[in-house]
Amino acid sequence: MRYSFGLDTFGDRSGDADGKPQSHAQTIRNVAEEGVFAEQAGVDFFGIGEHHTDYFPMPAGDVVLAAIAARTSRIRLGSAVTVLSSDDPVRVFQRYSTLNAISGGRAEVILGRGSSIDSFPLFGYDLADYEELFDEKATLFAELLRGGPVTWEGKTRAALLNQDVVPHIESGPFPAWIGVGGNPQSVIRAARLGLGLALAIIGGPPARFAAYSELFQRALEKFGRSPLPVLVHSPGHVAATDEQAKAEFWPRWRDTITLVAAERGFAIPTEESFDRETGPDGALYVGSPETVAQKITANLRALGATRFDLKYGMPGMTHDQLITSIELYGQHVIPRVRELLS
């Protein structure tokens, strides 16, 4: 089995050593450096999630990915995720096929909603239309990815009649995935469109998603498609010891979730819930390289997945802390997981 290992960021706003937030511009430069460093550390994929907030100032991740592409030669580069419902599938295809050209065929796209809802009012879309927007646009995107002229008609954008969409892809479709957070209908959609399944597991026991993985493969059979890979995306942080990783991550995680909780009206997480999530049955990969490697190994096995993407960092963490986390992930966690899986 061929496994690969990635890192994802939401453009988490960097903090300086005193805990003060750095500027959006500095955060974006930090992310570009982290992407370049990820290749040096031996990471296979670097993903940037679209967000539109003061603490995740990352609305145009593809521009940052292009900067990383110009300074790297091996690492794969993609979105994690692209909020397709509030974007135009033709433009998304064009941006990522351009990235694919710049990078010599290293582009990927993960389509989804993620937790980013801010793009809907920003671009004039109604969240209540989410389902229809996503379904139509994902269907068109899958069509565009096949290459060749496209004819398409729907309710959510202008129709296309035998339209040649450029730039053409050099050597077949680049990898594309559908991000799924827990809705089995979304698993069926990914299979129907022939796109990979990216399981975003951000809370609760990861093993409960095993049935989703099986559902995906069974649905692919039903639609007469070949097997496609399953990817797991989860948040975490690697440091020298479990204690250090938790001490660095917990206050930043608490502050961020508290902020989101206030915006969305849910209760604030407790230290008890953090302990559950960082334990063996939780969704957070926070700890020493060995702790994180064991957890990744167990969950890739349980879920029949061949790729793991660690969403590293949190708003307020320093660039230095993230560089150390990336180095430990690439130099120690990934080789250890490969060893455990072989």
Contacts with another protein, residue ranges (CB under 8 A): 117, 120, 126-131, 181-185, 187-188, 202-205, 208, 211-212, 214-215, 218-219, 222, 261, 263-267, 273
- Helices 184-193/210-222 angle, 10° precision: 40
Q: How far is the CB of 310 from another protein (least distance, A)?
A: 19
Q: How far is the CB of 187 from another protein (least distance, A)?
A: 8
Place of tokens 């809370």: 203
Give the nearer residue to another protein in terms of CB position, either 185 or 226. Answer: 185
DSSP character string of 148-209: S-EEE--SSS--EEEE--SSPPSSSPPPEEEEESS-HHHHHHHHHHT-EEEEE--SS-GGGG
Three-state DSSP class for 287? strand
Buried b / exposed e along 210-236 (16+ C-beta atoms within 10 A): eebbebbbebbeeeeeeebbbbbbbbb
Q: How far is the CB of 291 from another protein (least distance, A)?
A: 21
Give the nearer residue to another protein in terms of CB position, either 73 or 185. Answer: 185
Q: How far is the CB of 286 from another protein (least distance, A)?
A: 18
- The C-alpha atoms of residue 322 and residue 16 are separated, in whole angstroms, by 12
Give the nearer residue to another protein in terms of CB position, either 77 or 283. Answer: 283
Q: How far is the CB of 232 from another protein (least distance, A)?
A: 15
Residue positions counted in the chain: 342
DSSP character string of 92-130: HHHHHHHHHHHTTS-EEEEEE-TT--THHHHHT--GGGH
Give the nearer residue to another protein in terms of CB position, either 20 or 264. Answer: 264
- List the structure tokens of 130: 């989410």
Q: How far is the CB of 284 from another protein (least distance, A)?
A: 13
Give the nearer residue to another protein in terms of CB position, either 104 or 184. Answer: 184
Give the nearer residue to another protein in terms of CB position, either 115 or 306. Answer: 115
